[in-house]
Structures are given as structure tokens and as C-alpha cells.
Chains A and B, each alone.
Chain A
Amino acid sequence: MKTGGKLNPVAKVLTGDTPTSVQRALMGVILAIAIALPFIIHSDRWTTLLTIVIIYVVLASGLNIVVGFTGLLDLGYVAFFAIGGYYSAIIFIKVLKMGFGVDIDAYWWLMWVNLLVGGLLAAGAGAILGYPTLRLRGDYLAIMTLGFGEIIRIVANNWVGLTRGPSGISGIPQPQLFGFHFSSTKSLYLLGLVIGVVSLFLISRVVRSRIGRAWTAIREDEVAAEAMGIPTARYKLLSYALGAFFAGVMGVFFGHYMNFIHPSDFMLMESFVILSLVVLGGMGNLAGPVIGAVIWVSLQEYLRNFSFVQTHPELRGIAMGLILVLLMVFRPQGILGSRRVALEMKPGSAKEAEQEREALADVRHE
């Protein structure tokens, strides 16, 4: 970012400007590498890892809508992921296989429908959850989502009739397309990549649209945004819903990818991991979550080689807590971070912040 206004391609993509031809080329190259990677590395383990990176990237990008672009804290994001995962698993296993006793392979197309329906279901949950907090300070959303994340896990564990509780749901069919089985790790990776790219494309379009600008306005100053005629409640609701939508879609994919889901896939810690990815890469910019997810997954994989780390899983949590606190104190815009977020998160001085607040207080009193 310190290139003095001259184009730093990565940074410019983040700030939400329309990409230049250089950036388009850069994105094209990255995409080409992403497609070619599994054929170059020829390792199932690494391909699987890359798929996990994609899942995290989409989740972090979806959360970025709420946290980064709208400036509201969602601490139970993984619950929406769980909704998608459980929805499709329940439809296939509990309803079709056990309920009607049909051959689920014949209903392969349903997974593709479910990607959308699971997403919409999660979006609905996000909107319902966000609704009571609309009139209130954003902090309440944090508590609501934190509670909701726990509720979903409790339901997944205890409503045995629906979710099979702690034994999880197994036998979720692999994705199929007109008789083609996505059974190899490579094909699953490529499918994930397609879903991921489409999701990121949609997110990038939305945040650069009128809606995205409204979100940014809300993030920077809700009162001023309202005064400018932005229906903040509607846009916040849209932000919750859209953020949750991508988690739902990814949840459906995750279930079919793993063939098995279990309440422990949706622990609270996962919500914090996803939040850390957003914060680490840089809130409010598009490439942030990608960078965050790549760093986090590779770091975790690298640390796997050390037995001390293996026997002390809490080190992961310690690292995550430190990342969140240190970044907020020293570099709130994250590794990449847009200048806009940087300015906003770290006012030059207390005086500056005070002046801003004063100016606002005047507006409010009138």
C-alpha cells in the first residue's frame, strides 16, 4: 500500500474500485494457476488441502460482507454453514433414503438445487437473527450470533431424530453431474473452485454496486448514512442475509464433499477461525479473506510437522487470540487492508476522533 497512490494491483482490487486491465490479467493468471495446480502437484493430500482453502476462502468472503463491508460483528457464522450442510444431508439421507427409501443416486440433480436452497435457508436464518438487532447497536448482533452459533450446535447434538445427534449423518452422496461422479480429489477440487469463483465473483459485483456502497456508508457512519437517505435497516438485513447465503451454499458443498457431517464440524472455534481469516487478510477488501485463508491453512499444515504443536491444540487458539488482539491494536486493516479501512479503524489521533464525534453529535442534536 505504500506505493504512494501508484497502482499496487493487489491493493487496488481490494479497495473495491473497478479492476484495471492489469488487475484483470493478474486475476486471470491466479485463476489459471488455481486450475492447473492439482495437475502440477499431483498430490491428493495437497489437493484436499487446496479444497479446504477454497471452502475457507468463500466462508471468509461471505463473513467479510458482514464484518468487513458493513462493519457488524457476526460471531456465529459457522451456524449458517451448518444449516446448509445439515439441510442437504437431511434431505438426502433422512428424507429420501430413510423416509421414502428411494435410490438417492437417481436424485443427483437435487444437490445442485440444494446448493441454492441451502443458501437461501441460511440467508433466511441470517435475516431472522439480525432482525431484532436492527434498531439497536451493532454489538447486539455479536451476542445474538454468538448465542445462535451455540444453539445450532446444541440442536445438532440433541435433536437426534433430525440430525442423528453426535453420531453425525454419513453416506451423503458425492456430487454428480449427468452421470459424471465427482469422486477424485481433483474433480472435487475443481468443482469447489467453480463454486468458489462464482461466489467470489458475485460478492465482488455486489460490494462494488450501490448495495456495497450503502454497506460501506453504514460501516463508516450509520447515522450519517441514514441521514443521507440510505435505508440502513434494509441494507443491514441484506448484509446479514447475503453473508449467511454463501455460508449455506458452502455448507451444502461441504456435506457432499466430505460425505459425512458431524456437530463437531461446526464448533464455535470455527466461527472464530473464519473471523480471524477476515481480520488477518484485511477487513473490507476482496482479496483479504483469500490471503488470510491461504496463510492460515498453510501455517496449520506446516505446524503439523511439529509434535509439540500436535499435542498442544490450544496453541492454535492462543495464536488466533493474539492475531485478533495484535492486529486490532497495531494493524486493524489486516495484512492487505484498504487505505480506507486503515484510516477509519485508526484515526490519526484522539483529537481527530473527538472532532469527528463532535461533528456528529451536532448533527444528532439538531
Chain B
Amino acid sequence: MTAFIQYLFNGLMLGCLYALIAVGYTMVYGIIELINFAFGELFMFGAYISIMMMVSKITLFGHEVSMPGLNFFLAVPIAMAIVAILGVVIERLAYRPLRNAPRLAALISAIGVSILLQNVAQAIFGSKQVSFPTISLFTTAEGQAKSFQIGGAIITWLQVFVVGVTIVAMVALNLYVSRTKMGRAMRASAQDKRTSALMGVNVNRVIAITFLIGSAMGALGGALYGSVYHFAAPQMGFSPGLKAFIAAVLGGIGNIPGAFLGGILLGIIESFGAAYVSSRYQSAFAFIVLILLLCFKPSGLLGSTVSQKA
């Protein structure tokens, strides 16, 4: 039972991290029907920039540079802002020119951006892992993670924080999309860009804001991932990015609560799969979920039929 609770909670936390990236995928796919592969890389930049802001010295391009050494709670919003801008720039340069081109062109451009960012990160930060500084609030004086026990399972406060932040972010985002004017513009654009434009919606702006939010969420996910697993590496975004997309499909693409649900389910499936089946094939479970999903319920758990061919 102890182990069960432990895996459940670990899965829940992992799922929250997936959910944060999945939101970007789901919003962007909902509006422009593009799989923005670069979200995984923006996630990675979120972790790196947080580290940059938190340490006092870091090696960039092989040169040591002094850094502000900010608090985690200040560093993460800065990282989110920088990555959000990066996301908007990417949309402007690599996707917007292709909006009327066939999907294949945009998809190839997206994978190109992903490869580019991953290697740029390697050029800037080096190919080796960079360790994530410990966060004093969640660490005891002896350097141990502060934790508590539920039924014998050890749960760290950092994990609780991750889950809490994700829930707050998701609720806020859902309110934003369902209650504000911009949110309404987003939903309208997702249904029909052309008609929305006729109704006075600035579709380009809506898409830019979607990228802004999606990238910021991805960066938040990356920063939290880095703090939980204590590292950042150029390739760290690939696998979570892929799984987040699967989570978005699982929840029903284009649906924000769906992305949250899909992320959490996928995290828990992975955690249990790794624990009770085989840890070496952990990454395969998400893929199996995707195959089953595409065979039996391609519209996802909460989705409408948007993922079907329109």
C-alpha cells in the first residue's frame, strides 16, 4: 500500500509537469492545427533560464559569466517571461509565414525549430547536464528535501508545490479562456479563424497570445521539472514534449481541462507502468496509450471531434 501511494503521488506530480506542456500543445493545435514540437525545447529553456537566474556564476559558450543569483520564486517568472517572448518570436518567424501553406510545411518547420533550439541550447550551455540549485524553502538545513509521510509514502513539499502550482495555473488559465474577452476570441478562432476575423477578432494577435501563454506554461513546467529532478540538459525536453502531446491527445486536443486530465492520467500510467511492469520501458507506456487511443477514441476523453478530419 505504501508503495502504491508513493507511485500514485509520483505519477501525479509527473503528470502535472506533462499537463503544463500539454496546455501549450492543446491551445496551439486547437487554433492553428500545428503540432509545435518546439514546446519541448521551450520547456528545456525554462529550466535552463531558471538555473541561470538562480546561480551566481554560470558557463555560457565556454566562458564563465556572473549571474544575479535570484530566489527561485523570482527566477521562474523571469524564465517564463523570456521563454514566452521566445515562443512568440518563433511563431512570428517560423510558423506565421507558413499559415497558408500545406500542413506538411509547417510541421517540418516545427521540427526544424525543435532541432535548432535543442542544439542552440547545447551551444550555449554545453552538452553536459547542469545541476539545478536547491530551493532553500523546500530543503532542510542538512540539504535533505523537506518531506512528510502519508501511509508510509514519502512526499516532499516540493512535489506538493508542483501539484499546487499546476492546479492554480490550470484553473487560472481555464478562467482566462472561458471568461475574458481574449479567451472568447481564442475559442472563436479555434472554431473558425476567418469568421472570427470578420467579427473583428485580430487572429494574428490571438495566435501570438496563445503561443505566449503556451510557452510560459511550458517554461514553468521545465523549471519545476528541473527543480524536482535537479538538472537541466539540452535533450531534456524531447521526451516530456512527446508525452505532453500524447497527454493533450488523451484529454482531447483543443481542450484545456482535457490537457490537465490527460497529463495526470499519463503521469500515473507511466509511474505505475515503471513500478509494476518494467522501469526500463517507461517511455513505451505513453506510446502504447497513444496507439490505443488513436485506434479506439481519437477524439480523446473530453474532446469533441476536432481531432477527426474536419
- Partner of B112 from A142, A147, A322, A345 at Cβ < 8 Å: A322
Q: Mark B46-86, 1 if CB is under 8 A from A, else 0.
A: 00000000000000000000000000000000000000000
Asked if A143 and B246 sit within 8 Å, CB to CB, the answer is: yes
Give the interface segment out of A46-54, A245-253, A346-354: A346-354
Given A142-B35, A147-B290, A317-B119, residue A347 in contact with residue B101 (CB < 8 A): yes
- Residues of chain A with a CB closer than 8 A to B105's CB: 328, 332, 345
Give the interface segment out of A6-14, A148-156, A189-197, A294-302: A148-156
Which B residues, 24 to 38, have Cβ-Cβ distances below 8 Å to chain A?
A: 33, 35
- Closest Cβ of chain A to B227, distance in Å, is 25
Asked if B117 and A321 sit within 8 Å, CB to CB, the answer is: yes
- Closest Cβ of chain A to B101, distance in Å, is 6
Asked if B117 and A137 sit within 8 Å, CB to CB, the answer is: no
A135–B112 Cα gap in the complex (Å)? 26
In the complex, the chain A residue whose C-beta lies closest to that of B243 is A147
- Residues of chain B with a CB closer than 8 A to A263's CB: none
**B202 is an interface residue with CB less than 8 A from chain A:** no
Q: Mark A324-347, 1 if CB is under 8 A from B, else 0.
A: 110011001000000000001111
A75–B101 Cα gap in the complex (Å)? 20
Given A133-B294, A151-B287, residue A73 in contact with residue B108 (CB < 8 A): yes
B interface SS class: helix
A107–B272 Cα gap in the complex (Å)? 45
Given A314-B123, A328-B105, residue A132 in contact with residue B294 (CB < 8 A): yes
In the complex, the chain A residue whose C-beta lies closest to that of B295 is A132
Asked if B118 and A317 sit within 8 Å, CB to CB, the answer is: yes
Given A321-B117, A328-B109, residue A147 in contact with residue B100 (CB < 8 A): no
Asked if B104 and A154 sit within 8 Å, CB to CB, the answer is: no
Asked if A136 and B298 sit within 8 Å, CB to CB, the answer is: yes
- Closest Cβ of chain A to B248, distance in Å, is 10
In the complex, the chain B residue whose C-beta lies closest to that of A158 is B280
**B136 is an interface residue with CB less than 8 A from chain A:** no
**A320 is an interface residue with CB less than 8 A from chain B:** yes
- Residues of chain B with a CB closer than 8 A to A75's CB: 111
Asked if A329 and B97 sit within 8 Å, CB to CB, the answer is: yes
In the complex, the chain B residue whose C-beta lies closest to that of A316 is B119
**A44 is an interface residue with CB less than 8 A from chain B:** no
Which A residues, 124 to 147, have Cβ-Cβ distances below 8 Å to chain B?
A: 132-133, 135-140, 142-144, 146-147
- Partner of A136 from B283, B287, B309 at Cβ < 8 Å: B309
Asked if A318 and B109 sit within 8 Å, CB to CB, the answer is: no
Q: Mark B102-141, 1 if CB is under 8 A from A, else 0.
A: 1111111101111111111011000100000000000000
**A254 is an interface residue with CB less than 8 A from chain B:** no
- Residues of chain B with a CB closer than 8 A to A354's CB: 100, 194
Given A136-B308, A143-B290, A154-B280, residue A325 in contact with residue B104 (CB < 8 A): no
Asked if B123 and A345 sit within 8 Å, CB to CB, the answer is: no
- Closest Cβ of chain A to B193, distance in Å, is 10
In the complex, the chain A residue whose C-beta lies closest to that of B107 is A73
- Residues of chain A with a CB closer than 8 A to B287's CB: 147-148, 150-151
In the complex, the chain B residue whose C-beta lies closest to that of A318 is B119
Asked if A139 and B127 sit within 8 Å, CB to CB, the answer is: no
**B284 is an interface residue with CB less than 8 A from chain A:** yes
**B286 is an interface residue with CB less than 8 A from chain A:** yes
In the complex, the chain A residue whose C-beta lies closest to that of B100 is A353
In the complex, the chain B residue whose C-beta lies closest to that of A222 is B309
A312–B122 Cα gap in the complex (Å)? 9
Greatest chain A CB density within 10 A among B113, B242, B286, B287 is at: B287
A322–B115 Cα gap in the complex (Å)? 9
Asked if A140 and B294 sit within 8 Å, CB to CB, the answer is: yes
A19–B286 Cα gap in the complex (Å)? 47
In the complex, the chain A residue whose C-beta lies closest to that of B119 is A317
In the complex, the chain B residue whose C-beta lies closest to that of A356 is B100
**A84 is an interface residue with CB less than 8 A from chain B:** no
Asked if A320 and B101 sit within 8 Å, CB to CB, the answer is: no
Asked if A67 and B35 sit within 8 Å, CB to CB, the answer is: no
A345–B108 Cα gap in the complex (Å)? 12
- Residues of chain A with a CB closer than 8 A to B310's CB: 364
On A, residues with C-beta under 8 Å from B are 67, 71-73, 75, 132-133, 135-140, 142-144, 146-148, 150-151, 154, 158, 219, 222-223, 268, 272, 275, 279, 283, 312-318, 320-325, 328-329, 332, 344-347, 350, 353-354, 364
Q: List 15 A-B contacts (CB under 8 A).
A: A73-B108, A135-B309, A136-B307, A136-B309, A142-B107, A150-B239, A151-B287, A283-B104, A317-B116, A317-B118, A323-B112, A328-B105, A329-B98, A344-B102, A354-B100
Extra A-B contacts (11), CB below 8 Å, given A137-B307, A143-B246, A321-B118: A71-B104, A136-B294, A138-B104, A143-B290, A147-B287, A150-B283, A151-B287, A275-B108, A321-B116, A324-B116, A344-B102
